[in-house]
Amino acid sequence: MNVINVSISDVRADLIFAHEQAWSALSQPGTWWSGAQRRELAQTALLAVSESEPSPPWVAVSTVANKNLQIHFASSAAHDAVYRIARHAATLTRDWYQRTTQEIEPLAFIELCGVVCTVATVSAFRRALDLGIPELAPATFGEPSRMKPANVVDATLNWVPVIAPADENAAVVQAFTAVPETNRVIWAMADAQYIPDKEMVDPHWTRGTLSRVQMELVATRVSQQRECFY
pLDDT at 15 over 70: yes
Q: Is residue 33 classed as helix, strand or coil in its secondary structure? A: coil
pLDDT for the residue 2: 58
Mean pLDDT of the chain: 94
Residue ranges of domains in the chain: 9-146+181-193, 199-230
Per-residue model confidence as pLDDT tens digits over 136-184: 999 999 999 999 999 999 999 999 999 999 999 999 999 999 999 999 9
Phi, psi values for residue 91, rounded to 5°: -95, -5
Q: Provide the phi-psi class of 132: left if phi over 0, else alpha when psi is between -120 and 50, else beta.
A: left
- In sign, the C-alpha dihedral spanning 197, 129, 40, 227 is positive
* Whether the Cβ atoms of residue 5 and residue 180 lie closer than 8 Å to each other: no
Q: Is residue 141 classed as helix, strand or coil in its secondary structure? A: coil
Using 50, 70 and 90 to split pLDDT, how confident is the model at 31?
very high
Return d(Cα 213, Cα 178) in angstroms, integer.
Answer: 32
CA 106 from centroid of its chain's CA atoms? 16
Per-residue model confidence as pLDDT tens digits over 50-106: 999 999 999 999 999 888 788 999 999 999 999 999 999 999 999 999 999 999 999
- The DSSP secondary structure of 111-134, one letter per residue, reads HHHHHHHHHHHHHHHHHHTT--PP
Amino acid letter for position 121: T
Whether this model's pTM surpasses 0.85: yes
Instruction: Give residues with Cβ within 8 angstroms of 95, minimum separation 6.
Output: none
